[in-house]
Structure 1
């Protein structure tokens, strides 16, 4: 089932997308409400809504980000992506990369929808896209085993982790971050496809063989398979729950795929910024098999802010 949040007649509504139309839930229902109710209940209510309500053409609504996630964890789980990012320093992934999945928390307040404009972050000259799949958690869990984590997945969406590479590079030189390098926009959309739609597509090890692609100004730049990820998505959920909680509505990014899943990977392999960083007017489209397509246009951002440097201090103790 495809579950979307749309803007219709001045209000945000949740709906079931069938063909080229959307069947709307009662006003006041949010996607987070559905996710917190659990996948079986959401499927039941969604089927009832689809059967009992008229279809509103998709071209009469505006797709919003499908969910307002309480938290977003973003992994770095594709070996080929890490190889490309480290190619400039002449080494592959650090041995620690293979030991366990690694993630950071990104900004849930910066979520944007397909068709929203994305502003160049203030002061950045090296804006990049990152093609990922987002996993939406549907159950509360702590120290989940992989099978329990698999059962806790509500559904999947497309995720573009927009990255200001120059800002990110400065921050990570301080051995912290990313911060403002990843703080301006994360696209989620176009909707959430519930996990049951993919249940028979997992291989024996739990991987999903879905095609991923990204185009800039209608030219394909990257293409990969989700099954090239280092860990099945359920194991990312399980790792996120180690020693802590995952809760309904949390989103986990798969990390950027390889083979052009971002520009910086290509820059690392080629030793030059080809293709160039994204510029105002560029249109980025991402497609994931079985989910759909998201599309955003890059627009001019605010000028670089004036930031005072740190003041040297005398280190007095008395």
Structure 2
């Protein structure tokens, strides 16, 4: 099944998607709450909606992020992406990257919908997209094995980790990871696709072999397959659960795919800012096989309010 959250006549709803229509749940029934109630309850409510609610045309509603996740871990699992970005700094993939599926926590309050406008972050001059797929946790667990972790993934969705590259670079020298460079917007959508729908796309190693493409203003500039991940989502969930909990609604991003999954890859390989950073009016469209399409247009943001530099104490 495919589940979505949307606005219609000024009211927020969730529902189940079939063809080009969405069948709403009862008023006030949210997707995150159903995920927390358990997969059997989610499927039961979806089945009732398919037969018992009046469907709406997808063209007549505004898609919101499928859910507002409690936490968002974003991994970095595509070797090609890491290598291309490192090349721009005269570097190579560090050996530490191969040791475990590294991630950082990003802003769960920054989620935007599949077709929402995305503002340029305050002070940013090198705005970038990042083509990713995300897994959504459906059952709580900790210290999971990869085999156990598969039962804890309820579904998948597209994730676009918008990045202010010129803000990200300097702040990462403080060695706390990206923060304001990733803080303004993350696209999540267009809907949550349950894991069973994607099982036919698994390769012999257990990776989801889904074609991924990204266009800027109608021109394809990145294309890859999700099977090029270095770790499966199950391995990522297992690593995330070491010594702590993963809980229903948590989102785990794959990290940016290789072969043009972001502008920074092109910059790293070419040594120039070509294609150019995103500007207001640019539209970024991401399609993932089996998951759908998201398309966001960049708009102007706000100017940063000044904050003093550090008061030196040493």
Q: Same fold (TM over 0.5)?
A: yes
Work out the CA distance in 2 between the residues paired with 1:28 and 1:309. Answer: 46
Counterpart mapping for 1:257-272 below 5 A:
257-272=257-272
Q: Is the 8 A contact 2:203 2:227 kept in 1?
A: no
Q: How far is the alpha carbon of 1:215 from its aligned partner?
A: 0.4
Work out the CA distance in 2 between the residues paired with 1:40 and 1:221. Answer: 40
**Residue 234 (structure 1) aligns with:** 234
Work out the CA distance in 2 between the residues paired with 1:101 and 1:21. Answer: 38
Counterpart mapping for 1:1-318 below 5 A:
1-313=1-313
Q: How far is the alpha carbon of 1:167 from its aligned partner?
A: 0.2
Q: Is the 8 A contact 2:144 2:241 kept in 1?
A: yes
Work out the CA distance in 2 between the residues paired with 1:93 and 1:44. Answer: 46
- Matched length: 314
The 4+ residue runs of structure 1 with deviation greater than 6 A are none
Q: How far is the alpha carbon of 1:209 from its aligned partner?
A: 0.5
Work out the CA distance in 1 between the residues paired with 2:38 and 2:226. Answer: 25
Normalising by structure 1, report the TM-score: 0.97
Work out the CA distance in 2 between the residues paired with 1:226 and 1:111. Answer: 22
**Secondary structure in 1 matching 2:16:** strand
Work out the CA distance in 2 between the residues paired with 1:4 and 1:260. Answer: 28
**Secondary structure in 1 matching 2:49:** helix
Work out the CA distance in 2 between the residues paired with 1:10 and 1:278. Answer: 31
* Greater shift in the superposed pair: 224-233 or 192-201: 192-201
**Secondary structure in 1 matching 2:17:** strand
Superposed CA RMSD = 1.0
Q: Is the 8 A contact 2:199 2:208 kept in 1?
A: no
Q: Is the 8 A contact 2:119 2:301 kept in 1?
A: yes
Work out the CA distance in 2 between the residues paired with 1:262 and 1:106. Answer: 18
Work out the CA distance in 1 between the residues paired with 2:160 and 2:187. Answer: 5
Q: Is the 8 A contact 1:123 1:305 kept in 2?
A: no
CA-to-aligned-CA distance 1:97-148 (integer Å, 9 cap, x gap): 1110000000001111111111100111000000000110000010011011
Q: How far is the alpha carbon of 1:307 from its aligned partner?
A: 2.0
Work out the CA distance in 2 between the residues paired with 1:152 and 1:312. Answer: 48
Q: How far is the alpha carbon of 1:88 from its aligned partner?
A: 2.0
Q: How far is the alpha carbon of 1:57 from its aligned partner?
A: 1.0
